[in-house]
């Protein structure tokens, strides 16, 4: 395994969208560092599928663990070009009843640790080309509703890091992006029928696929988009005001 192969670290890379991203970057010749929390078996199995991969682990609810993991990877990889902060917690509370534990976990895992990891990445990662950061946010930034209150607040906080980190760049070739998905995979306790209905509640009445997210991430990894931008990949869901999360709208 060459430390000079272009490298991507994907948090939450063992499951769901993170795993789709890992497979896509692996197929394009990247060395993929697959972060996992409680999904060791899935992470190791996925790493075995890819031409060049490794697994890394830390508790994203720990203030110092994420940056330490970044520094360790930076010491071992000579061409670390991309960090994708994909991992998130998604627990229910709403605008009438903020739950302290839910709020604290969401703000740390979904916003605080990604921000700290981004800072460590730009401080320590080495590459002969520009470094790039992709923060996975949510279409709820433009289309909020009262459900998943803490989660939504945390994604707004994460989105705020994008322009600020972009402004703080020390090298103009470094770039910071947001990627805001809509409903992609079944979430929370959705049934298959509910997923089929809810995922078409968008402007185009189509299901946004994981491949849509993958193609966008691959473009952001090496494309010419100006730093500080957020791309919405949701078939126009953010343009359709929704009074509740679509998983509940599908049950009415």
Given a contact cutoff of 8 angstroms between Cβ atoms, the answer to whether 44 and 17 are in contact is: no
Comparing 188 with 108, which gets the higher pLDDT? Answer: 108
**pLDDT exceeds 60 at position 122:** yes
Share of the chain above pLDDT 70, in %: 98
The mean pLDDT of 167-190, rounded to a whole number, is 92
CATH superfamily name and code, 7-249: NAD(P)-binding Rossmann-like Domain (3.40.50.720)
Token pair for 202? 């968008």
Write out pLDDT tens, residues 22-54. 999 999 999 999 999 999 999 999 999 999 999
Q: Where are the domains of the chain?
A: 7-249
- In sequence order, what are the residues at sequence separation of 6 or more whose Cβ sits closer than 8 angstroms to the Cβ of residue 223? none
Q: How confident is the model at residue 4 (pLDDT cuts 50, 70, 90)?
A: confident
Q: How confident is the model at residue 187 (pLDDT cuts 50, 70, 90)?
A: confident
Q: How confident is the model at residue 252 (pLDDT cuts 50, 70, 90)?
A: low
**By C-alpha distance, which of 82, 124, 102, 80 is closest to 217?**
82
Q: How confident is the model at residue 1 (pLDDT cuts 50, 70, 90)?
A: very low
Q: Which residue has the tokens 């197929």?
A: 27
Q: Please tell me whether the overall predicted TM-score, pTM, comes out greater than 0.85 for this model.
A: yes
**pLDDT exceeds 60 at position 117:** yes
Q: Facing residues of 57 across strands?
A: 36
**pLDDT exceeds 70 at position 2:** no
Token pair for 48? 């075995």
End-to-end CA distance of the chain: 52
């Amino acid at each position: 395994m060459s430390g000079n192969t272009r490298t991507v670290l994907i948090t939450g890379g063992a499951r769901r969208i993170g795993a789709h991203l890992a497979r896509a970057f692996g197929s394009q010749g990247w060395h993929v560092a697959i972060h996992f929390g409680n999904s060791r078996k899935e992470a190791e199995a996925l790493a075995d599928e890819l031409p060049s991969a490794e697994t890394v682990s830390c508790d994203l609810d720990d203030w110092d663990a994420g940056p330490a993991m970044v520094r360790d990877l930076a010491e071992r990889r000579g061409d670390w070009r991309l960090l994708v902060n994909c991992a998130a917690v998604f627990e229910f509370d709403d605008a009438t009843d903020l739950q302290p534990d839910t709020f604290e976990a969401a703000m740390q895992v979904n916003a605080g640790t990604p921000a700290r990891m981004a800072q460590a990445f730009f401080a320590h990662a080495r590459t002969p080309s520009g470094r790039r950061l992709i923060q996975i946010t949510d279409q709820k930034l433009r289309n909020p509703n009262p459900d998943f209150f803490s989660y939504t607040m945390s994604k707004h906080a994460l989105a705020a890091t994008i322009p600020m980190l972009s402004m703080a760049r020390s090298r103009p070739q470094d770039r910071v992006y947001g990627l805001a998905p809509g409903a992609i995979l079944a979430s929370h306790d959705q049934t298959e029928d509910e997923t089929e209905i809810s995922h078409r509640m968008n402007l185009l009445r189509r299901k946004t696929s994981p491949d849509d997210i993958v193609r966008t991430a691959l473009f952001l990894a090496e494309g010419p988009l100006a730093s500080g931008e957020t791309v919405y990949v949701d078939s126009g869901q953010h343009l359709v005001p929704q009074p509740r999360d679509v998983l509940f709208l599908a049950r009415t």
